């Protein structure tokens, strides 16, 4: 039987859920930022084909992408203490999510850094730029813009996957809700509420990313036969803003 | 090693649970996902919007929340299912939503001229879909479906949190048992084993997906 929906109860627990939401946002944003750094570094290392480092990145990316995040979380939380490394649940959450997001972001960004036209890198060399300068001023900015749509999917997944941290007791949204259900047994109201909160958070973030994507996008409308490369060169030659 | 051989059958049961769960989810999700994907491209506005809403809903919700929703709310609706079936339902919802989007994309990537040609030949809408569009679309969505399969196998580990005894759970039980009975911790070895087993299953799938994707481009 379906119990009647108790709206008053939702208002009562909303402050509690908002503290959980704050934690969800905190670990998500931190992890997205760290995975951006990991991902970009990994992508540049692979595109440049730096020996040893490149292989390490490949192993890291394949390992993380082909094993469940939940196992990473348990590994960090239950195995590391045995090796003498004690981390708080929040720290484990952020590290696990960052490593996970970083592996996916590395793949995302590699699509972008690989697509940077070779002519531009050669131009950089001709201008006497050092490798670091080429990376800093050509590969990263262009690669980022090209692969931002792919990365934004990863970033949204990081937010969704922050719910995994319930399993080790991080006081994020899902945990707060499940914890409270154990007291009040208002399962129906509580789950519906957090589902709505998650949807607002995730759809909202996706929408925001789509706006940014549109601002960064310069590959959909290129000149004839331009493709991605032609689009970039076109864009750089002419004004940064398109008339349409 | 001794722990491993003693508990081998127990661990294998868990692994079979994981694989069965993933395969049955994939089966259900393929049927539902293709249906939903085709309906998303239908000209019937209300129908296609509903199906898009379905896809957006279950792609938007974290899998864990879908899992909890199914596990805790079905009993309130009078449907009593165990954690295995709950996990199956929740993961099928999630993966069918993902497949439907892949199907929609694949269908829309088939040139319009083919539909028009089928109409000119006198094929009905269903026949056009069945004999002309879908056979081509299926080939195009294959890489993403295989990628999803790897993702699905990994996601079944979440069913541990509602008490399904899959591979991860049986490993945890072995760790606990050894700790209680013999007072020694095998957590690091056992969790490394978990990583290795998942990797051995999922890595070939990912590689296959990547290779197919490249060959279709």
Determine, for residues B65 and A191 on separate chains, whether the beta-carbon distance falls below 8 Å.
Answer: yes
Residue B194 contacts A where some CB pair is shorter than 8 Å: yes
Q: What is the per-residue pLDDT for B217?
A: 64
Would the pLDDT of B47 be above 70?
Answer: yes
Would the pLDDT of B81 be above 50?
Answer: yes
The domain made up of A7-237 is a member of CATH 3.90.1150.10: no
Q: What is the per-residue pLDDT for A2?
A: 53
CATH of domain B2-216: 1.10.3720.10
Determine, for residues A66 and B77 on separate chains, whether the beta-carbon distance falls below 8 Å.
Answer: no
Nearest CA in chain B to A191: B69
Which position has the higher pLDDT, B34 or A235? Answer: B34
Would the pLDDT of B1 be above 80?
Answer: no
Query: Contacts of residue B57 in chain A, CB cutoff 8 Å?
Result: 199
When pLDDT is averaged across residues A7-24 and rounded to a whole number, the result is 90
CA distance B145 to B206: 10
Q: What is the per-residue pLDDT for B44?
A: 87
Residue A77 contacts B where some CB pair is shorter than 8 Å: no
The 10s digit of each residue's pLDDT in A109-164 is: 998 998 888 899 899 999 999 989 999 999 999 999 989 999 999 999 999 999 99
In chain B, where the domains are located: 2-216
Would the pLDDT of A244 be above 50?
Answer: no
Q: Which sign does the torsion angle of CA B88, B90, B93, B94 carry?
A: negative
The 10s digit of each residue's pLDDT in B94-143 is: 999 999 999 998 888 888 888 889 889 988 888 888 888 888 888 888 88
In chain A, where the domains are located: 7-237
């Amino acid at each position: 039987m379906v119990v009647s929906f108790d709206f008053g109860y939702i208002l009562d627990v909303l402050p509690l859920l908002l503290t959980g939401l704050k934690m969800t946002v905190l670990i998500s944003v931190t992890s997205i930022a760290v995975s951006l750094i990991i991902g970009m570094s990994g992508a540049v290392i692979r595109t440049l084909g730096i020996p040893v480092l490149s292989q390490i990145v490949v192993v890291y990316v394949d390992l993380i992408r082909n094993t469940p995040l939940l196992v990473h979380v348990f590994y960090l939380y239950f195995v590391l203490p045995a090796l003498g490394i004690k981390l708080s649940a929040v720290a484990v959450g952020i590290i696990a999510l960052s490593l996970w997001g970083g592996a996916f972001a590395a793949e995302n960004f590699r699509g972008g850094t690989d697509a940077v036209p070779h002519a531009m890198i050669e131009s950089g060399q001709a201008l006497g730029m050092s490798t670091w300068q080429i990376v800093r001023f050509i590969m990263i900015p262009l690669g980022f813009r090209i692969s931002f749509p792919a990365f934004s999917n990863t970033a949204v997944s990081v937010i969704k996957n922050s719910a995994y941290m319930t399993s080790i007791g991080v006081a994020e949204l899902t945990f707060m809700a499940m914890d409270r259900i154990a007291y009040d047994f208002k399962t129906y109201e509580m789950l519906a509420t957090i589902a709505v909160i998650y949807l607002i958070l995730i759809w909202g973030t996706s929408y925001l990313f789509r706006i940014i994507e549109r601002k960064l996008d310069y590959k959909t409308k290129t000149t004839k036969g331009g493709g991605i490369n032609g689009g970039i060169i076109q864009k750089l030659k002419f004004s940064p803003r398109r008339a349409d | 090693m001794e722990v491993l051989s003693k508990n081998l059958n127990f661990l294998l049961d868990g692994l079979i649970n994981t694989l069965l769960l993933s395969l049955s989810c994939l089966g259900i999700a393929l049927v539902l996902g293709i249906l939903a994907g085709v309906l998303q491209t239908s000209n019937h506005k209300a129908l296609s919007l509903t199906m898009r809403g379905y896809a957006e809903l279950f792609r938007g919700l974290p899998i864990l929340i879908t899992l909890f929703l199914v596990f805790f709310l079905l009993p309130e609706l009078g449907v009593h299912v165990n954690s295995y079936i709950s996990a199956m339902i929740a993961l099928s919802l999630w993966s069918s939503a993902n497949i439907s989007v892949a199907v929609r994309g694949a269908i829309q990537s088939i040139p319009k001229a083919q539909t028009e040609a089928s109409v000119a030949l006198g094929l009905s809408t269903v026949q056009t879909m069945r004999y002309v569009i879908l056979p081509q679309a299926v080939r195009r969505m294959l890489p993403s479906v295989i990628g999803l399969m790897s993702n699905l196998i990994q996601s079944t580990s979440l069913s541990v949190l509602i008490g399904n005894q899959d591979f991860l759970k049986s490993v945890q039980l072995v760790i606990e048992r050894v700790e209680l009975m013999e007072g020694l911790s095998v957590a690091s070895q056992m969790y490394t084993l978990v990583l290795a087993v998942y990797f051995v299953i999922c890595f070939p799938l990912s590689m296959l997906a990547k290779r197919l994707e490249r060959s279709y481009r």
